């Protein structure tokens, strides 16, 4: 058997375990087992990927994986139970940043307009997830003010950012190798994550984190398209889709709609001026 | 282009699956479920590994290696934190 086949089969097993794990996580009696199943799926996926013949240099990978594991372990052990949501936000932000970096690195692999577009998506969603999660973490841990942060002309700034993003989508997808466009896209994505989360109050942060968690799945999914990796697409879109459902469930539990949460800052200002 | 169509096919099926997987989650499980699926989104680690190890150019390797570290923190931290939450959950249940 050649290694490509082994990797392929391992990915199929891994995808199945992720699906089973996510299903079990949804009910109290089986949740812990579900988490262990999905961790096993991740282990299989990583080990299989390391067999990839295209991977030539293992030194930096080993160092970085060891460092990442130690840091993750220490943080996870030390964090107080009450600080869990903000911890999830921080981890989530790192995942988003990783997807952004994978997207940028994919520019070297080979480019056409379709891959350019998927790279754009992974940078955009990854960047929004990164800075958005950092702001959510800051608000929950009270490193920045928990109240909605508003400034004059905020709606205009947001609209302009979105328009610039749409324009840069076309320009970047057409020529992803142009580094100036690349920097602009990265800057826009990072700025938009901040802009989207600062007008939301600290009490709504769990819903925001759940939504950003869904985004980080979508970012991984987009990165999967950029490097043609089917496991990234399966796992990423599973998280993306189930994350949106979970966000809706959480909103319903708070008796609010999602748009109500996302635009809460703006309505608060409107109400106060009335 | 054929591979893009095949990947889009996978995408469509997994999105529908993701929508169907989660329903009627008890409120106490919201945070653990969020944390657990956050760890799954660390799957981008696999993508980071392939770009870190391949001999493309200096930049791709450097970005890939940084991504490996970030994604590993996400994966290890995410699963550990979820397990800690769920362990406490279980203890509470058995104590009652």
Least confident of A51-55, A128-132, A223-227, B7-11: A51-55
Element (H, E) at A216: helix A205-226
At A181-206, the pLDDT tens digits run 899 999 999 999 999 998 888 888 88
Contact A101 B80 (CB under 8 A): no
Average model confidence (pLDDT) for chain B? Answer: 86
- Looking at the 3D structure of chain B, how many domains does it have? 1
Residue A155 near residue A266 (C-beta atoms within 8 A): yes
Q: Which has the closest alpha carbon to A201: A123, A157, A243, A144?
A: A144
B13 found inside a domain = no
How many angstroms away from the CA of A152 is the closest CA of chain B? 34
Q: Does B91 contact A at CB distance below 8 Å?
A: no
Asked, for residue B22, whether it belongs to a domain, the answer is no
- Reported as type and span, the H/E element at residue B2 is helix B2-21
Residue B84 belongs to some domain of the structure: yes
| Confidence check: pLDDT of A176 > 70 | yes
Biggest CA-to-CA distance, chain B = 59
The answer to which of A111-125, A247-261, B69-83 has the lowest mean pLDDT is A247-261
Compare CB distances from A223 to B47, B82, B87 and report the shortest one's residue.
B47
Inspect the interface and report whether the beta carbons of B41 and A19 lie closer than 8 Å.
no
Domain around B85: 28-95
Q: What is the ipTM for the molecules in this complex?
A: 0.90
Give me the residues of B, 17-76, that contact A with CB < 8 A: 17-19, 21-57, 59-61, 63-76
Does a structural domain hold residue B77?
yes
Alpha helices in A79-178 (DSSP H): 84-106, 113-140, 154-174
Give the nearest partner residue to B77 out of A75, A102, A114, using CB atoms: A75
Selecting from B24, B27, B50 the residue whose C-beta is nearest the C-beta of A54 gives: B50
């Amino acid at each position: 058997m050649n290694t490509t086949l082994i990797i392929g089969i391992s990915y199929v097993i891994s995808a199945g375990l992720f699906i089973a794990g996510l299903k079990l996580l949804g009910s109290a009696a089986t949740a812990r087992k579900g988490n262990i199943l999905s961790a096993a799926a991740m282990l299989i996926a990583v080990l299989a990927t390391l067999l990839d013949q295209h991977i030539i240099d293992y030194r930096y990978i080993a160092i970085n994986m060891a460092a990442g594991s130690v840091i993750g372990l220490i943080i996870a052990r030390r964090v107080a139970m009450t600080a869990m949501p903000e911890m999830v936000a921080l981890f989530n932000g790192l995942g988003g940043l990783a997807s952004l970096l994978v997207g940028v690195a994919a520019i070297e692999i080979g480019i056409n307009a379709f891959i350019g577009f998927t790279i754009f998506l992974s940078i955009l969603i990854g960047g929004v997830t990164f800075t958005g999660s950092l702001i959510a973490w800051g608000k929950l841990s009270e490193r920045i003010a928990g109240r909605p942060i508003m400034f004059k002309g905020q709606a205009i700034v947001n609209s302009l950012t979105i328009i610039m993003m749409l324009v840069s989508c076309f320009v970047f997808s057409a020529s992803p190798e142009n580094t100036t466009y690349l920097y602009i896209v990265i800057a826009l994505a990072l700025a938009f994550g901040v802009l989207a989360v600062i007008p939301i109050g600290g009490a709504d942060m769990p819903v925001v984190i759940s939504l950003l968690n869904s985004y980080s799945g979508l970012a991984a999914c987009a990165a999967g398209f950029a490097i043609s990796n089917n496991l990234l697409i399966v796992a990423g879109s599973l998280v993306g889709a189930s994350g949106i459902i979970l966000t809706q469930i959480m909103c319903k539990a708070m008796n609010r709609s999602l748009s109500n949460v996302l635009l809460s800052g703006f309505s608060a200002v409107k109400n106060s001026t009335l | 282009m054929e591979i893009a169509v095949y990947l889009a096919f996978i995408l469509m099926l997994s999105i529908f699956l993701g929508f169907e997987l989660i329903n009627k989650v008890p409120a106490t499980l919201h945070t653990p479920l969020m944390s657990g699926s956050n760890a799954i989104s660390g799957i981008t680690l696999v993508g980071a590994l392939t770009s870190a190890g391949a001999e493309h150019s200096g930049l791709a390797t450097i970005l890939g290696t940084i991504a490996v570290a970030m994604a590993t923190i996400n994966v290890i931290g995410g699963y550990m934190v979820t397990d800690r939450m769920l362990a406490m959950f279980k203890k509470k249940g058995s104590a009652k």
